[in-house]
Amino acid sequence: MQLLDGKATAMSIKKELKEAVDLRKKEGKKIPHLAAVLVGSDGGSMTYVNAKVKACDEIGFESTLIRYDDSVSEEVIMNKVKSLNEDNSIDGFIVQLPLPKHIDELKITQAIDPRKDVDGFHPMNLGNMVLNLPGFLPATPAGIVELLKRNDIDTEGKECVVIGRSNIVGTPLSIMLGRNTNPGNCTVTLTHSRTKNLKEIVSKADIVIAAIGRPEFVTADMIKEGAVVVDVGTTRVEDSSKVKGWALKGDVKFDEVSKKCSYISPVPGGVGPMTIASLMINTLRAMDLKGK
């Protein structure tokens, strides 16, 4: 078994991006500027957003973090999105999800200017992705595809099963892996909570992507010998042996599945760092697209 080391892969992407930024600085060009909107104090969201800001610092991007209380109104967030759309100094921005229940996530993501939508969540970017037209690819699926590519995983003609159909991971990823691209050209099955015979379907897969947010859901008996396994799960579970009192658990039972598969991405250090690297790639592109 070999590790799909997202941390190391993301580090080499960030190094490439830093070189591109250093060159821009030398040429007196604008430095990419990412803004992130964070609502509330959910531990997971704060960790992700802080990691995004840290990645900007490492690469040399500018970043701005805008924080609101859980009780903030939808109108205030909508107005912030509008002002970020119009702010010329900001090249791209994200609104970290999930948002509190009283704020309509779809309404917010649809209000983001697609040219600044570096998360690739806007319907225009998702539509462009489906049609294989230029646009921003959603960060986590794009990170997974890049992880496969940079680890020389052959996807051509492979049976790929995606578990979970979320708007930000499972659904877009199932389309990306089925497109006529490299990586791509998989025969994709998108499975979800209503899927019958899930175990049987997963056990035929050459590539399994677990993105359901249920800790250790995928067990060794579901996995074909030599399969490639990508774990997108990041659930915090209580763990009194840790100083923080919790540990991050993936959707895959790593200890047993790793003995059976050819490649596996760990949690943490797999998909998470790749999501951040993709966001950074999109931010640099956002600025390039504007011809700055």
- Give the separation between CA 273 and CA 234, rounded to whole angstroms: 12
Applying CB under 6 A, the span of 2-10, 90-98, 126-134, 209-217 interacting with ligand GUN comes to 90-98
- Would you call 96 a catalytic residue per the annotation? yes
- Residue 37 found at the interface with ligand GUN (CB under 6 A): no
**Contact letters for ligand GUN, residues 120-159 (x by CB under 6 A):** -------------------xx-------------------
- The phi, psi pair for 235, rounded to 5°, reads -100, 135
Task: Name which position in 38, 59, 94, 287 contacts ligand GUN (CB under 6 A).
Answer: 94
* 119 versus 216: smaller Cβ distance to ligand GUN: 119
Residue 78 makes CB contacts below 8 A (sequence gap 6+) with 107, 108, 111
Question: Which is catalytic among the residues 5, 80, 91, 96?
Answer: 96
CB 264 within 8 A of CB 229: yes
In this structure, what are the phi and psi dihedrals at residue 179, rounded to the nearest 5 degrees? -70, 160
Candidate list 52, 116, 158, 224, residue with the active-site label: 52
Decide if 25 is catalytic. Answer: no
State the nearest-atom distance from the C-beta of 189 to ligand GUN, in Å. Answer: 23
Nearer to ligand GUN, 201 or 213 (CB): 213
Tell me the sheet residues that pair with 248.
Answer: 236
* Residue 275 in the binding site for ligand GUN (CB under 6 A): yes
User: Which element (helix H / strand E) includes 66?
Assistant: strand 62-68
CA–CA distance from 49 to each of 44, 79, 96 (Å)? 9, 21, 7
Contact 122, 110 (CB under 8 A): yes
How many residues lie near ligand GUN (CB under 6 A)?
9
110 is catalytic: no
Cβ proximity to ligand GUN: between 80 and 158 the closer is: 80
The arrangement of strands across the sheet holding 62-68 comes to 62-68, 33-39, 92-95
The type of residue at 85 is: N
235 versus 258: smaller Cβ distance to ligand GUN: 235
Q: Does 235 bind ligand GUN (CB under 6 A)?
A: no
Interface segment toward ligand GUN; rule CB under 6 A; list 75-83, 95-103, 151-159, 173-181 = 95-103
Calculate the alpha carbon distances from 290 to 4, 5, 80, 286 in Å.
34, 33, 21, 7
Determine which residue in the list 5, 119, 146, 206 makes contact with ligand GUN, applying CB under 6 A: 119
Q: Which residues are catalytic?
A: 52, 96, 119
Per CB under 6 A, residues contacting ligand GUN are: 94-97, 119, 139-140, 168, 275
